[in-house]
Amino acid sequence: MSRVAITGIGLISPLGSGGAQALANAAAGRSAIRRLETRWSDRLAAPLAACVRFEGEAHFPPPRLRMLDRVSQLALVAARQAIGEARLDLPAADRRRVGVFIGTAMGGALTTDDGYLSLYRDGCERMKPFAILTGLTNAPAAWIGIEHDLSGPNLTYSTACSSSAVSIGEAWLRLRRGELDVAIAGGSEAPLCYGAMKAWEALHTLASEDSSDPSASCKPFSANRSGLVLGEGAAILVLEDWGRARDRGALILGELLGYGLATDATHITRPTVAGQAAAMRAALRSGEIAPQSIDSINAHGTGTQANDSVETAAIKEVFGERAHRIPVSATKAMHGHLLGASGALELALALLALRQETLLPTMHLAVPAADCDLDYVPNCARHNTGARTVMSSSFAFGGTNAVLIASAGEA
């Protein structure tokens, strides 16, 4: 089995564009969660979101922009960053050995929402000419392949909130088996439209607004947590055969060590300790990794009542008494829940932090819930920790649990 290097990271996130800016804001504990200011936000019970400062006009000419939903725009720019950082220079003959693996939960949500409003509210008789093409769930992956002339496998994964973790894990499997030389893997999400937000509101999973500070409304593992806050963005990694990366003199940012996948198979919205623990154990087995080798955990940590309690119990089941000595970070408190893109963003942030021997904070954690009793790195980052490995968990509606394990830098 081949080793898999991470040689490029691209981020368009609520915490900033590019890895350096996003990491600086995350390490400083700055929350990107704000009150939404749109023509429809006053019709939401809690008009909160983590938005990206991004204008498509700055990156695409008008004819192209008309064919790109925001989810594809974000993915394309993040992919450009990642490929640029990796300094990939691919001869035409090599491009069939490069795969694209992208995860998204809601695909072209803005296109769909806009189309329905035009038809059912405004009475328009015709949809926009490119509505089907811009709204396709696989459009972000397809456009990345087209822009960079990558003719290997081009796959889209939609497993709700674990989508991008699955995409990275599935790419890792193919690289390990020698089926590919390079994979562009990650996720993109742009769900901040009226229809999608009202639908999430109906599930009673969205956080109530913090009356003193809206930016502190998402409180993972806290006794007073009330739910998640939706976010948007994209995170793309360049994964590469280790030998190939070394031979071409690439800067190796980290190594992907393990991937585990397991399904709750009990209820479409209710997580289980057994399912989450099974995914963690599968990730350890896949890379023949001892539990003692895990220095830190990036938690799914949504801030919902069910998830945070179940996730804490799953960590204890896998790591036993040592669970209380492993630092656990939940960064959704700052960048919100990017649904299908969350796994990729959180793995990227955790890896970048580990390269600086830093553990990112779980913000807005004043009083932990009684059944949430681990070390959640509350409110302040930790520096000079010596930590080198992270287990990053992504759990989803539908019950698809995906866990990735990575280490920082070269070993």
What is the DSSP secondary-structure string of 292-320? GG--EEE----S-HHHHHHHHHHHHHHHG
Question: Is 300 labeled as catalytic in the residue annotation?
Answer: yes
Q: So what's the pLDDT on residue 130? A: 84
CA atoms of 305 and 225, how far apart (whole Å): 7
pLDDT, one tens digit per residue, over 159-196 is: 999 999 999 999 999 999 999 999 999 999 999 999 99
Q: Report whether pLDDT(33) > 70.
A: yes
CB within 8 Å of 373: residues ≥ 6 apart: 312, 324
- Give the pLDDT confidence of 102-133 residue by residue, as tens digits: 999 999 999 999 888 877 877 787 778 888 89
Segment 227-283, tens digit of pLDDT: 999 999 999 999 999 999 999 999 999 999 999 999 999 999 999 999 999 999 999
Q: What is the pLDDT of residue 121?
A: 78
Confidence check: pLDDT of 93 > 70: no
CB–CB of 294/260 below 8 Å?
no
94 pLDDT exceeds 90?
Answer: no
Q: Choose, from 161, 193, 218, 372, the residue flagged as catalytic.
A: 161
In the DSSP assignment, the letter for residue 144 is H
**Between vectors from CA 327 to CA 321 and to CA 329, what angle results, nearest 5°?**
130
Its pTM stands at 0.97
pLDDT at 37: 92
pLDDT tens-digit series, residues 58-67: 999 999 999 9
Q: Report, as an integer, the average pLDDT of 44-51.
A: 97
**What is the Cα–Cα distance from 404 to 7, expressed in whole angstroms?**
17
pLDDT of residue 341: 98
Q: Hey, is 6 helix, strand or coil?
A: strand
CA neighbor of 335 nearest in space, from 297, 305, 361: 361
**Residue 95: both structure tokens together:** 């491009």
Angle at CA of residue 410, ends 408 and 411, nearest 5°: 100
* pLDDT value of position 409: 79
Residue 207 gets which letter from DSSP? P
Average pLDDT over residues 294-322: 98
Set 51, 148, 193, 300: catalytic member: 300
In order of their start, the domains of the chain are 4-247 (3.40.47.10), 258-408 (3.40.47.10)
* 89 vs 54: which has the higher pLDDT: 54
Q: Could you tell me the pLDDT band of residue 411, with boundaries at 50, 70 and 90?
A: low
Backbone angles phi, psi at 218, to 5 degrees: -95, 120
pLDDT value at position 125?
A: 75
Residue 129: CB atoms within 10 Å = 10
Q: What are the pLDDT digits (tens) for 339-352?
A: 999 999 999 999 99
Q: At 246, which helix (H) or strand (E)? A: helix 242-247
Could you give the C-alpha distances from 159 to 81, 262, 396, 397, 408, in angstroms and in order?
A: 25, 12, 7, 8, 27
State the pLDDT at residue 70.
Answer: 98
Q: Is 372 a catalytic residue?
A: no
Give the pLDDT confidence score for residue 68 in this predicted structure: 98
Q: Based on the residue annotation, tell me whether 337 is a catalytic residue of this protein.
A: yes
